[in-house]
Amino acid sequence: MRKYLWPAAFIVAASLAGCGGEPAAQDQLTVDTATDSTKEERMAKTKKIFYNIPSPMETAALLKKAGAQYNSKILNDVKNVDKYTAASQQALNLGVYGADLSYASVFNHTQESMFYTSCSRKLADRLGVTNAFNDSTLELMQSKMNDRDALLDIISTTYWDVDAYLKENGRDNISALMIAGGWVEGLYVATQVTTTNDTPDLRRRIAEQKHALDDLVALVSSYGVEDARLDGVKGDLAALQELFKEIKTPEPGATTTEENGVTVIGGNEPPATLTDDQLTAIRDKAASIRNSYIN
């Protein structure tokens, strides 16, 4: 018995030591393919497809450039955070608070940024994402409160860490809910801003979300798992897609030109825009979906 125990224990210990723990400096795996069939199997794998949905920070920056004003009254109440007990609600609202955090930070409302950071931290904690968003992140943010650029960088990196952590731990559906929650909140904020601060640029940015919405629907639909909440979100996005369908966007195909040594893609097409009726319909639908997520 002892004769077998030691070699076996050594193998288990060596395997665990080699596979576990924090990622080391070496960032690759080398797989020894003993048989050709293993190699062929690997080669035959389908390609990996990603959908790059504009992040809350990118959306907030676009809104600011389009002349949007900051309005704290339209953001999710920080007191709501304790209402979210189900993981799906927590994930959606981590996205919602993440978008509110980006909006407040891009417009340099530092105190509110800290409140939204605290809410996001709470939800990340409940979702078990403390590896990516913990007390040291909060402390770092507090220390950079007066340095807007540094604060934006920390928020961006934290959002990325949370998303990556969820994906690498096989919780892609939770990641998708977070991304969907963030995108819906961004659309809600943009459309609400138009009620007091309607500009052609803002309308164009809202109309252009048609592309992001198509990618988001593809992302949410890419999971084979049975997830009732994800199905619900899919339905919400499909309803929005119906409204966005009416919006005219340029024909596919990008022209390229050079401008000071930089490639310019497109530019000859008329920009997408929204009629009053389209804007009202999208605003109402976005509000109804968003309110169903936060309440």
Residues numbered 245-264 forming contacts with another protein, rule: CB under 8 A: 249-250, 252-254, 256-257, 259, 262-264
Q: Three-class SS of residue 171?
A: coil
> What character string, x for contact with another protein (CB under 8 A) and - otherwise, covers 138-157?
--------------xx--xx
Specify whether the CB–CB gap between 59 and 190 falls below 8 A: yes
- How far apart are CB 268 and another protein at their closest, in Å? 7
Q: Which amino acid is at 73?
A: K
Query: Could you give phi then psi for residue 54, rounded to 5 degrees?
Result: -55, 130
CA dist 72 and 115 (Å) reads 12
- How far apart are CB 269 and another protein at their closest, in Å? 5
Q: Count the Cβ atoms, other than its own, within 10 Å of residue 273.
A: 16
Asked whether position 272 contacts another protein by CB under 8 A, the answer is yes
CA dist 193 and 200 (Å) reads 13
Q: What residues from 193 to 252 belong to the interface with another protein (CB under 8 A)? A: 204-205, 208, 211-212, 214-215, 218, 249-250, 252
Q: What residues from 155 to 194 belong to the interface with another protein (CB under 8 A)? A: 156-157, 159-161, 163-165, 167-169
Nearer of residues 1 and 228 to another protein, judged by Cβ: 1
Assigned token pair, 189: 């904020």
- How far apart are CB 29 and another protein at their closest, in Å? 5
How many CA atoms lie within 13 Å of 91's alpha carbon, on the beta-carbon side? Answer: 21
Nearer of residues 210 and 229 to another protein, judged by Cβ: 210
Asked whether position 27 contacts another protein by CB under 8 A, the answer is yes
